[in-house]
Structure 1
Amino acid sequence: MRSRAFISAASSFRFSGARIRRASPWIGGSCQFPRRQFSYPRDLEAASAKPFYITTPIFYVNAAPHVGHLFTIILCDILKRWQQLKGNKAILCTGTDEHGLKVQRAAEKAGIDPKLFCDKGAAIFKELAQKADITNDHFVRTTDREHKDAVEYAWCLLKEKGYIYTAKHEGWYSVTDEAFYPQSAVQLYLDPPTGRKMMTSIETGSEVEWSSEKNYHFRLSAFREPLLEFYQANPGWISPEYRMNDVIQAVEDGLEDLSISRPSDRLNWGIRVPGDDSQTIYVWLDALMNYATKAGYPWSPGTDHAGGWPADCHVIGKDIMRFHCIYWPAFLMALKLPLPKHILTHGHWTLGGSKMSKSTGRVVDPFQALDRFSSDVMRYFLARDGRLHTDSSYDNTRIISIYNKVLLGALGNLSTRVLRGKKWSVRGAVERAGNLPIQEWEEGPCSTFYHNTLSTMPAAVESGLDSNNPRMALRHMEASIHSANRFFQMSSPWDKALTFAPGVPGEHVDKIVYCAAEALRMVGILLQPFMPHKAKMLLDQLGVRESRRSFEYCQVGCDLEYGEPMISLGRGHEGALFPPLSSDE
């Protein structure tokens, strides 16, 4: 989905005075800016060129990451790399959410200073991103000075515009979810192992406790109609579609004003409300601003697009939709900032039928999985089996099965048979068959594979990735790989190669080898966002130049200069693209 220009809030900013609690190089004082009418567009077409900007949610540091976190950052990285493959500048932001009562209590339990606790947690998530070959441009921490300044700035603007007021707030509060719930959203629950009765959130199952306190509120109720108007104008804003319908229903049912601060004597680990040290800013208002922070908010006039804002895609788990699809756009509307172009939601990963959760201990250690299977294999598995519409099940035996049947048995098998063939030369086949006129492919034994597989695969994969669905894209690639194997086996070039002219097996064999090599070349190009190391190895084996590995060259006959391997093809398992796993257990 593309986005039309929103009126830039930056152009209306006038920095003046010095009333804000803490000075910074760029924060103005009183936030007394000229008011401008801000109309929300009926569509989201881009106004000007800007980097593609994609974000993960920022992850809590109160416990170690699990494979669900790995899935989210890999999904984002694939979509970022895809944009780069098409020649577009792309920016990926990830990071850690380090404020809130949950983190405060975890640090207290660990007996260490909250900042030191957060430093250790952030380092673990950074290590995970590096180990999974994530090409993030930013790693935001909500304890960063620039983030604190941006949050304080946004608070000041919201207050100046009249969207923040003080009131007594009562309700059921979940420390785990960092959220209040109305009476209609909680239930009495009997914990089977302990027999303890407790109140829990119906939505998340997290325990809640009654809270009554005076704090600041955001006039969320004022944005019911603007939000519904925006949803109607942009029906594909949230995917999958049925989750968009859930959000619309929730807003249509009515919005209550949102408590956006907590008493500092209860929550001291966070950003203080500017001018009122007795209150700490609500963690979700704090956390959501990270997306704009790393895009350079608040922007100097004319530079709002330089950092990528508005975001092209927020990738989130289905359990945090309310915050990203209702609260976040309302905050942005109040700040007169452009809304993100798309919210991509995905299901959870389950283990033994239950959702993976740090709080319950039902997790798969992503570091162990990466060590065992490699980053490329884990990236492929998670992208292939990770579902957007429903939850996905993690199983080591499933990874092994996919590796053996698809990667080793199909793609690896095809590359070995084509590249190591002794009766033909890939380079010779490319030179001789690659220059044949299109009429030569209209009939004959190679014509069906040429037109039905080679000519259609790039567009099918492009469609999947452009719709933010790597799983669909991989399915198209796999279908093409299996089709190429069947074609090569049924064509049996080893039986048709002529022997009277060494290196010249005949036109029929040249066409067979060329078609199979083209399948490998295009799959190698398209696999780069998914398996960067293995894709590079395959393209090196084929001898594809670095300058010819972009999507621009992913069409039949677009590159006729490959065929001489850049690396050793090896023998047996040595040098094979996908050698057998060391253990199938």
Structure 2
Amino acid sequence: MPRDSFVYRTHSASKNETVRGACPLWHATTTVEDFLAPRMGMPKLPAASGSPMALEQFPPHIGHLYCMVLTDVLKRWQQINGKEAILCTGTDEHGMKIQRAAAKEGMQPKEFCDINSNKFRQLAASADISNDFFIRTTDAEHKEAVRHFWLQLKHGLPETLGLYKGSHEGWYCVSDECFYPEDMVQPSIVPQTGKKIMVSVETDNEVEWVKEETWFFPLTKYRERLLKFYDENPGWITPAHRMNEVRNWVENHLEDLSITRPVSRLNWGIRDPEDSKQTIYVWVDALINYLTKAGYGAKWYSSTDDMGLWPADLQVIGKDILRFHAIYWPALLMALDLPLPKRLLCHNHWLMSNRKMSKSLGNVVNPFFAVQRWDIDPLRYFLMRNGSFSKDMSYSNDLIGSVYAKDLQANIGNLFYRIARPKVTAKWSTKEAVQSFRDGDFEHLMDGPKEDSEERFFSLNAHLDRVTAAFSEEMERCETGAAIREIFNLLRETNRYVSDTEPWNLVKNPEPESRLLLNWVIYNSAEALRIAGILLQPIMPTKATELLNELGVQADRRTVQYAHKGKDADYGTEAKPSSDKGRTKKWDTIFPPTPNASDSDAEVMEQLKAMLQSKTKNKMNQMAELLAMEARMGEDAVKKLLAESHAAEPQTEKPVLLVPYEAHHVRKYHTWMQDPSIQEATASEPLTLDEEYENQVSWREAHDKLTFIACEPLTSEGPRVGDPVRDYGAREESMKGDINFFLYPDEDEEDGHDDNLAGGSENPPRPRQRLVVGEVDVMIADEAHRGRGFGGGAVRALLVYLRRNLDGILAEYSRGSDGSDGSDGEGRRAETGGVTAAAAPPPPRLRGLMAKIKEGNAGSRALFAGLGFVQRGEVNYFGEVTVVMGWEEAARRAAEWEGGEEYREVDLRGEVEK
């Protein structure tokens, strides 16, 4: 349902130069699964009841926030370049999904839309979106624009190019609100129920066969005009490969477009003014919103009039609605001889830890909570930094925490306090340094170093000289991530510059030349911060303003024209405070600590400890040293060094929930096993989904194997008290990996060993007790949970489970391996013919545990070593090492773990307890 229509228009200083842009409306729909399929490039709002609790259960998607922020950043970028920009956002409120969702909630559609539309108003306000208008497709002015557009299609075109009425049947998708041709649908199966359905090849959403009488737009008549336009405007769509998708559809799948729905099936929408039995197709209604705030149907009616804000220079859309904007929309505009938008920007989708967000998976991120957790500017920074037009993007708190600590707290915040708020013993200030520049004290330094020993004092010059042009180039391409990377590199080099020049030592030297060099260092560093602050304003409007205020930069000197070295000689502040009192964690002023001790920045600092603690114990200074190391060695080299150091350190095991591997886990497990790195690590061949389901059944029924899915633990942040445990274990978002336990006959047991045999001619022999070995195999598929003790926690939990349930496990193994339950091993009772049968063999005894690990897998080797396993023998033919532990020792350790920590067994059929 929410439709975010962003129409921005920009005016340069010259009255003759105008730049117009548009970003789509947000579309609020009825299902969270569709969040990443925003109509008009913006979010679809989920269905929600009228109660506040229900609204919280179905919050807007983080993808909605991303598109809002992206369009807002592009608008603000135009503004700091001296141009006027206008942003229009709003909600799309018609369609079958809205009608069904409202009925399900027992509400009238308009009442339902009012509630959901307000959620998106709130989200825009929370995200600091500078929208000038908020449009709803239920607004009277929009309805009038649609009616005028519709009548022009009906009566203003030649008969062969205008609307015609006909009978239509085909595969219709309610979720996508469109028909699909026969070659774009395929059979599928609902994993939870086994129900056979037809789905869209593009979106995997269910389709249904529909036959009805509707009005048609002759889209096929516009094929050649569309292809000609694409040929003449090859850069119309960004990224370029999306143009190939569009051309392929037009050349191979184009059909005339059914653009009404019978009122008997869809009554929530704008009616055909001349045919009360037909409702205008929601996508035609929705697309016209771009024209509404430009004045179409009210202030102008054709391309011969003053069209106000139209055409747009830019429209921003999601990849799954590309067809509507790149084919339907231009064809409709061509029909009325209206100009097309000048450019389409097509972004990808956000995943939760590399998994599609959906209500059914329970992994939808509530952007309101995200804003509360991280504050809006750091969240805007992360979304713009990690956003992509070429691949889907991954969202997780771990990723945000790492970016927050490294990019914001250390690279910006701590650098600022090192330069502008030094300790009281460091007698320097940005005000004095800028004053030295203004007075011409640096004239003889401008030519560069005279000796090699002075090189370090001039190493920042090249970075300062290029950053604004490089940043601007990326922003003009709308590549916010690449633009941010330019700022990050500049500030990382500045951290290196400060570490190399050591101003804290220069200030101790009473020689005038040292004072001059000190001011030169502080001035260059301050310039880096000032330029970064100016360029970051569109991305972090509040934090960048705060930084510039702290530097004393005047409000009228914060445009791009001032973002060059030496362009501002009238800023700077005195060093504060006047004493050390209260200075602790001064960097917190701009970027406070993340919410709790388990956040990713703490994990980063743990990794840094071994490498950097010998140099400094200050957390932010450690991070600054990391940035300096990256500038010297390269980011990849430092990452490898830290990983090696971290792998050698003992890991703290994390709580883990183990649940039996069931059918509802298969789809995500199958996704894991498509990863080539996991295939290599597990020596597995890729299977089809059907084969994976067959394997699951086989493993579940096996007598010699236990397979558990390793999930996030039952915590206050997980399921609520009273939730079914099985439902939580079935949520794909909670799944992080798997752990297996295999039982094998002990290969070391000597053949013919009969110490346990007894009996004679009158009694059957008593079978000896066999020995078995258990193999442990753990895989943490979720990269965000590797190296954090999650695997160790899974092994601990498994060993505790084995200790508690070993007798039953071994008895099950015995029954399955030799039919000692009185059957023949295939479930048939053995016939004895009156002769006393041999006594059933006792359950085997578990001699010990083992695991096989790739020789180069330092993390797994450290994991098992930390749990007490020891290596046996050398590397085998397959490049594996075997680690072992006797069962008595394993049971002793499990008892210790159980005594020191809480381990619970929960019936899957039960509920989560307090």
TM-score, normalised to structure 2, is 0.57
Q: Which residue is equivalent to 2:22?
A: 54
> Which amino acid is 2:321 matched to?
I
CA distance, structure 2, for counterparts of residue 433 and residue 288 of structure 1: 55
Give the 5 Å matches for 1:160-559. 160=155, 161=157, 162=159, 163-253=162-252, 255-298=254-297, 299-300=299-300, 307-357=308-358, 361-421=362-422, 422-434=426-438, 436=440, 440-444=445-449, 445=455, 448-497=458-507, 500=510, 506-559=515-568
Distance 1:514 1:308 in 2: 44
Shift of 1:210: 0.4
- Residue equivalent to 2:857: none
**Mapped partners of 1:473, 1:244: distance in 2:** 24
8 A Cα contact 1:51 1:306, kept in partner: no
Q: Deviations over 1:191-214 (max 9, x none)?
A: 111010111111111111100011
Partner of 1:105: 100
Residue number in structure 2 paired with 1:18: none
Task: Tell me the residue number matched to 1:573.
Answer: 585
Please state whether the residue corresponding to 2:101 is helix, strand or coil.
Answer: helix
Change beyond 3 A, Cα 1:335–1:435: farther
CA shift digits 1:173-199 (9 cap, x unpaired): 000000001111111111111010111
Q: CA deviation at 1:501?
A: 8.6
SS state at 1:509 partner: helix
> Is the 8 Å Cα contact of residues 524 and 539 (structure 1) preserved in structure 2?
yes
- Following TM superposition, by how much is the alpha carbon of 1:111 offset from its aligned partner in structure 2, in angstroms? 0.4
When the two structures are aligned, how many residues end up with a matched partner? 539
Larger CA deviation: 418-427 vs 168-177: 418-427
- Displacement of 1:249: 1.7
Per-residue Cα deviation, 1:322-343 (whole angstroms, up to 9, x for no partner): 0010000111111111111111
For residues 573 and 133 of structure 1, the distance between their equivalents in structure 2, rounded to whole angstroms, comes to: 27
Secondary structure of 2:404's match? helix
Give the secondary-structure state (helix, strand or coil) at the position aligned to 1:90: coil
Residue 595 of structure 2 corresponds to which residue in structure 1?
A: 582
CA contact (8 A) 2:577 2:583 kept: no
CA-to-partner distance for each residue in 1:259-297, whole Å, 9 max, x for gaps?
Answer: 000000110000001111100000000000111111211
1:472 & 1:372 partners in 2: Cα distance?
A: 26
**1:349-408 deviation per Cα after TM superposition (whole angstroms, max 9, x unaligned):** 112433224576541111100001000011011111121110011110111111111111
Change (3 A) 1:51 1:303: farther
Matched residue type, 2:20: F
Query: Kindly tell me: are residues 540 and 352 of structure 1, through their superposed partners in 2, closer, same or farther at Cα, counting changes over 3 Å?
Result: closer
CA separation of 1:399 and 1:217: change in aligned 2, threshold 3 A = same
Amino acid at match of 1:581: T
Q: Does structure 1 residue 560 correspond to structure 2 residue 558?
A: no
Q: Distance in 1 between matches of 2:571 and 2:207?
A: 63
- Which residue of 57, 61, 65 corresponds with 2:60? 65
Shift of 1:94: 1.9
- Paired with 1:47 and 1:428, the residues of 2 have a C-alpha distance of 41
Specify the alignment match of 1:125 in structure 2: 120
Relative to structure 1, is the Cα distance of residues 472 and 423 closer, same or farther in structure 2, using a 3 angstrom cutoff? same
Please identify the structure whose Cα radius of gyration is greater: 2
Give the stretch that moved more between structures: 437-446 or 379-388.
437-446
Whole-Å Cα distance in 1 between the matches of residues 170 and 29 of structure 2?
Answer: 26
Contact in 2 for aligned 1:173/1:179 (Cα 8 Å): yes
Alignment partners' CA distance in 1, 2:593 and 2:80: 30
The Cα of 1:564 is off from its aligned counterpart by 2.3
Residue 526 of structure 1 aligns with an amino acid whose one-letter code is L
Whole-Å separation in 1 of the counterparts to 2:336 and 2:459: 55
CA distance in 2, matches of 1:305, 1:556: 43
User: What amino acid is aligned across from residue 578 of structure 1 in structure 2?
Assistant: F
Question: For the residues of structure 2 that align with 1:498 and 1:353, how far apart are their CA atoms?
Answer: 52
| Cα separation, 2, equivalents of 1:360 and 1:290 | 33
CA distance in 1, matches of 2:168, 2:360: 27
Between the aligned residues of both structures, percent identity stands at 47
- C-alpha distance in structure 2 between counterparts of 1:340 and 1:566, whole Å: 51
Amino acid at match of 1:396: N
Cα displacement string for residues 541-581 of structure 1 (whole angstroms, at most 9, x for unaligned residues): 10001111111111111100000269989722356322322
- List alignment gaps of at least 5 residues for structure 2: 1-13, 31-45, 47-58, 450-454, 600-914
Amino acid at match of 1:426: T
Whether contact under 8 Å (1:541, 1:565) holds in the other structure is no
Which AA in structure 2 matches 1:58? Answer: W
Which deviates more from structure 2 when the two are superposed, residues 574-583 or residues 538-547?
Answer: 574-583
Return the alpha-carbon distance in structure 2 between the equivalents of residues 578 and 213 of structure 1. 58
In structure 1, the residue corresponding to 2:316 is in which secondary structure?
strand
Contact 2:491 2:528 in 1 (8 A): yes
Tell me which of the two structures has the higher relative contact order, counting C-alpha pairs closer than 8 angstroms and 6 or more residues apart.
1
Contact in 1 for aligned 2:430/2:574 (Cα 8 Å): no
Q: From the superposition, tell whether residues 303 and 439 of structure 1 become closer, same or farther in structure 2 (CA, over 3 Å).
A: farther
1:59-107 CA deviation, whole Å, 9 max, x = no partner? 2243141101111111111110000010101111222111000100000
Q: CA deviation at 1:140?
A: 1.4
- Aligned equivalent of 1:27: none
Is the Cα contact below 8 Å between 1:310 and 1:341 reproduced in 2? yes
**Distance in 2 separating the partners of 1:221 and 1:125:** 37
Which amino acid is the alignment partner of residue 319 of structure 1?
Answer: D
Q: What amino acid is the match of 1:511? A: W
| 1:30 equivalent in structure 2 | none
Indicate conservation of the 8 Å contact 2:90/2:135, yes or no: yes
Corresponding residue number in structure 2 for 1:21: none
Q: Quick one: structure 1 residues 554 and 352, their matched pair in 2 at CA, closer, same or farther if it must change by over 3 Å?
A: closer
Higher mean Cα deviation, 444-453 or 410-419? 444-453
2-structure distance, mates of 1:516, 1:399: 26
What are the within-5 Å matches in structure 2 for residues 40-51 of structure 1? Answer: 49-50=17-18
Q: Distance in 1 between matches of 2:575 and 2:510?
A: 29
Paired position in structure 1 for 2:153:
158
Give, in whole Å, the separation in 2 of the partners of 1:65 and 1:307.
32
Distance in 2 of aligned mates of 1:186 and 1:258: 17
Instruction: Give distance in 1, aligned partners of 2:85 and 2:360.
Output: 34
Alpha-carbon distance change, 305 to 449 in structure 1, aligned in 2, over 3 angstroms: farther
Which 10-residue stretch deviates more, 525-534 or 438-447?
A: 438-447
- Distance, in Å, in 2 between the alignment partners of 1:397 and 1:362 is 15
- TM-score normalized by the length of structure 1: 0.88
Q: Distance in 2 between matches of 1:277 and 1:225?
A: 34
How far the C-alpha of 1:50 sits from its partner, in A, is 3.3
| Corresponding position: 1:93 with 2:88 | yes
- CA distance, structure 2, for counterparts of residue 92 and residue 233 of structure 1: 29
Give the partner amino acid of 1:288.
L
Say if 2:96 and 2:177, in contact at 8 Å, map to a contact too. yes
